[in-house]
Amino acid sequence: MSRVGKAPITIPSGVTITVNEGNIVTVKGPKGQLEQAIDSDISISQEDGVLTVVRPTDQKRHKALHGLYRALINNMVTGVTTGYTLQQELVGVGYRATNTGNTLDLVLGFSHHYVFELPKEIKVSTTAEKGKNPTIILESIDKQLIGQVAAKIRSLRAPEPYKGKGIKFVGEVLRRKAGKSASKK
């Protein structure tokens, strides 16, 4: 069996999981509600506060979907209970980030600003302390959405390997390269 797929999901108190006839899983919790359509071959059983994902056969496709849907449902349960937070920092002279509501305004060393409208499911805040790099903080209950938005923001100015300038995740270790070396005479 799939190591990920066979692991049971413990359902915390205050979280309800329902599966309707269209095989759409709905997870409701203190922070909100998430939905995920799952394949009709995969079934879900729920008993005593534990949810298990079951596959019908050992076909390669069923094995792949087994682990996938178990991970997606577990991410939904974590999202509606604790939520997800991602922090990105802007490394570079003159790089700035400001937000008004759900609109992110980025100055990344180009001749123009990037104005980035975020989905309503994501809360954004920015910090700019003297002597530290500006930071973008994203919060959401949807792990897929927050990851996709963070990747899009990072792609606007990906960190380069020589000076490390660009948008990087807090705690991310960049592989640095040596610059040009002086010629030996």
What CA–CA distance (Å, rounded) separates 104 from 117?
A: 6
Q: What is the pLDDT of residues 101-129, one digit of tens each?
A: 999 999 999 999 999 899 999 999 999 99
Torsion sign, CA atoms 64, 41, 10, 122? positive
pLDDT of 1 higher than 70: no
User: What confidence tier does 5 reach under pLDDT thresholds 50, 70, 90?
Assistant: confident
Q: Which amino acid is at 59?
A: Q
- pLDDT at position 71, please? 94
HEC assignment per residue over the chain: CCHHHHCCEECCCCCEEEECCCCEEEEEECCEEEEEECCCCCEEEEECCEEEEECCCCCHHHHHHHHHHHHHHHHHHHHHHCCEEEEEEEECCCCEEEEECCEEEEECCCCCCEEEECCCCCEEEEECCCCCCCEEEEEECCHHHHHHHHHHHHHCCCCCCCCCCEEEECCCCCCCCCCCCCCCC
User: What confidence tier does 182 reach under pLDDT thresholds 50, 70, 90?
Assistant: low
Q: What is the pLDDT of residues 80-109, one digit of tens each?
A: 999 999 999 999 999 999 999 999 999 999
User: How large is the average pLDDT for residues 57-81?
Assistant: 93
Record the pTM: 0.88
